[in-house]
Structure 1
Amino acid sequence: MVQSQQQQQTENNDQCKKRSANQEEPTIIIDNDNNNTQQQQQQQQSRDDLLPVHQLKKQRNNNNTVHNNTNTTKKSKSQKNSTTSSSSFSKHNNIPDYPASFPPPPTTIVVNNNDNVNRILKESVIKMNVKIRQINEMRYRDHKAPAPILKYSLLYSTLLLYLKMNLPEKYDATKTNITSQLYKYLIDQSVKLVPAQKELVEFTQTHSKNMMLSSLDQCSFFQFLMKILNAKTTIDVGVFTGYSSLSVALALPKDGKVYALDVSTEFTDLALPYWEKAGVREKIELIIAPAAESLQKLLDQGKAGTIDFIFIDADKPGYDVYYELGLKLIRNGGIIAFDNVLQDGRVLDEEQLKTNENVAAINKLNAKLFKDDRVIISMLPVADGLTLVTKK
């Protein structure tokens, strides 16, 4: 009798090992293309694989009803005894008797091309499979669980790993993918210049201080804003060779006005021929004086709350003064735009913040705008950083 039991236990152990060995190791495929369609297919597949799980409770209840209702069942006596035995064993050990129609375990796990995720997933799958085989052998040998647990334990563990690990790579919303080649494409596909603009840009690029030229995409964006705002009256604080004033004037109606403020005619004289050629000279009123004085003069002339757009690209320590005066001049719904708010990245340099007057002034302004409850702001990675401000 003892020998027979030992022989049966040995056969059971062999059978357990065979069943465990037959369970496939999940294959890991790295999705280098990160294709949205493939991700959607994988997500849909995972939902399809999980669908029977939501039906298990109902199916178990139906099975229990059949087992308990001995007066109405039409099964044979042998089938009934087998079912009752299995059901009572499952109930006693708190283990469900899973339906045979349950789908097979997935044999492929697709993850995004992330080295850390791939490493963790691969190690987890290997360790989990080893552990499951050990548990299955122990359960089958000691009669702690019915045979179905051997068939579906790897399924559940694999699905669990699949759901936890097959996640899209975390999107970094703080980065930009603009390269010099992509930026050139952006300019080529969005910026349209009239001949006078193109000639002025080419001329300014030969100037020793060409770094002061407003960027092409920035001024194109201003032209777009003028149409949205239905702008008629604007202010350009800091003119240089007049490219920003020219661009804005081109977007204004015939009776539009640009107040172009600068401290000297050293550079503004260079702008006049191009304004003339573009046919917007009459729209631009050039005011030569310190910008703070010119802005205050406009306030004294009753221009408060009448200006649609103000572009500030002048001496950086003066930005805060121009901002306060500009808030009085701008209408509700109007926009103030500040250039160079990133200072070529120097706003992150602790040494520059201590020693560079321009960087320190811009950093202070950025902090002030962020905390100012009077306005809503948007800082954009356009050119050297562009902050748009509008009243609440």
Structure 2
Amino acid sequence: MEVSSLNHKSLIVDAPVLEYILEKNAYPKEHEQLKELREITAKKCEERSFMSVPVDEAQFLSMLLKIMNAKKTMEIGVFTGYSLLATALALPDDGQITAIDLDKEAYEIGLPFIQKAGVEHKINFIQSDAFSILDHLIKNEEEASFDFIFVDAEKEDYMRFHEKVMKLVKIGGIAAYDNTLWLGSVAYEQDDDKYSAMPESIWKNKDYVIQFNDFIVSDPRVESSLLSLGDGLTLCRRLY
């Protein structure tokens, strides 16, 4: 098994099944610079490497972006940039990504691999609180201009992000929210056997994720699907 291939997300999918998906499908297709970035993230950010989007999820998003013919996207929460690089590789040469994160140091771990892949010109990295940037974009008439927005940030803020994102993504565009199964905790009660295997931080944020999932189901502005991919991925297609 390769470096960083199994992390806490494997508690959702049985480890042998995940290993099969990765070894037989995901790894053989992984771009060279994505592989290098994944491995350096595991080495330099060992305790936080689980924050990276898994390989199979990144490949799904890459295919989705190509099917959509997306050109203008946003990423809220970047970390070392695995999903960001996957997105940049999927977009056409004149595609543009607005990437927002407070942690520039983590982004700079991935920057050499972004540069090596020849896609840095597609990325506008902004070191900032995301809400101030979203408000700025809305104020400056960027509403309904993004083809795709990927949110992988603090779970307690997902409801607030959704309201901003619904203004910025175009009608027919897609907003994607990561970690919406939250290590599978959304399906288990505290007395379940799997409870003891989950970090306290997971249970602390579980209610925020459940609240968000419940809201999305009844939001008339979107057509949604919660996928059991990675740590859970919710796709919302804006209807109006």
**Which structure is richer in relative contact order (CA contacts within 8 A, separation 6 or more)?**
2
Return the alpha-carbon distance in structure 1 between the equivalents of residues 83 and 238 of structure 2: 23
**How big is the alpha-carbon RMSD for the aligned residues of Structure 1 and Structure 2?**
2.0
Residue 186 (str. 1) matches residue 186 (str. 2): no
Q: 2:230 aligns with which of 351, 376, 383?
A: 383
Return the alpha-carbon distance in structure 2 between the equivalents of residues 184 and 372 of structure 1: 35
Deviation, structure 1 residue 274: 1.1
Give, as a single letter, the amino acid of the residue that structure 1 aligns with 2:21. Answer: L
Give, as a single letter, the amino acid of the residue that structure 2 aligns with 1:281. Answer: E
Deviation, structure 1 residue 184: 2.6
Q: 2:42 aligns with which of 205, 211, 216?
A: 205
Q: 1:346 aligns with which of 151, 167, 185?
A: 185
Q: What does residue 297 of structure 1 align with?
A: 136
Q: Give the SS at the match of 1:322.
A: helix
Return the alpha-carbon distance in structure 1 between the equivalents of residues 211 and 173 of structure 2: 23
2:185–2:203 CA contact under 8 A, matched in 1: no
Q: What does residue 34 of structure 1 align with?
A: none
Q: 1:368 aligns with which of 190, 200, 215?
A: 215
Q: What does residue 7 of structure 2 align with?
A: none
Q: Give the SS at the match of 2:137.
A: helix
The aligned length equals 215
Residue 269 (str. 1) matches residue 108 (str. 2): yes
Correspondences of 1:163-312 after superposition (within 5 Å): 179-191=14-26, 192-206=29-43, 207=45, 208-312=47-151
Q: Identify the range of structure 1 (316-325 vs 298-307) with the bigger mean alpha-carbon deviation.
A: 298-307
Q: Give the SS at the match of 2:237.
A: strand
2:174–2:237 CA contact under 8 A, matched in 1: yes
Deviations 1:257-306 (A, max 9, x none): 11111012131121211110111111010011111111112222322111
Give, as a single letter, the amino acid of the residue that structure 2 aligns with 1:201. Answer: R
Return the alpha-carbon distance in structure 2 between the equivalents of residues 348 and 381 of structure 1: 12
Give, as a single letter, the amino acid of the residue that structure 2 aligns with 1:190. Answer: N
Return the alpha-carbon distance in structure 1 between the equivalents of residues 139 and 121 of structure 2: 23
Deviations 1:58-82 (A, max 9, x none): xxxxxxxxxxxxxxxxxxxxxxxxx
Deviation, structure 1 residue 349: 4.0
Deviation, structure 1 residue 356: 4.1
1:317–1:357 CA contact under 8 A, matched in 2: no
Give, as a single letter, the amino acid of the residue that structure 2 aligns with 1:347. Answer: V
Higher strand proportion: 2
2:41–2:109 CA contact under 8 A, matched in 1: no
Return the alpha-carbon distance in structure 2 between the equivalents of residues 266 and 316 of structure 1: 22
Q: Go from structure 1 to structure 2 and tell me whether the alpha carbon gap of 1:261 and 1:181 turns closer, same or farther (over 3 Å shift).
A: same
Deviation, structure 1 residue 185: 2.8
Q: What does residue 325 of structure 1 align with?
A: 164
Deviation, structure 1 residue 357: 4.0
1:213–1:243 CA contact under 8 A, matched in 2: yes
Q: Give the SS at the match of 1:272.
A: helix
Return the alpha-carbon distance in structure 2 between the equivalents of residues 376 and 194 of structure 1: 31
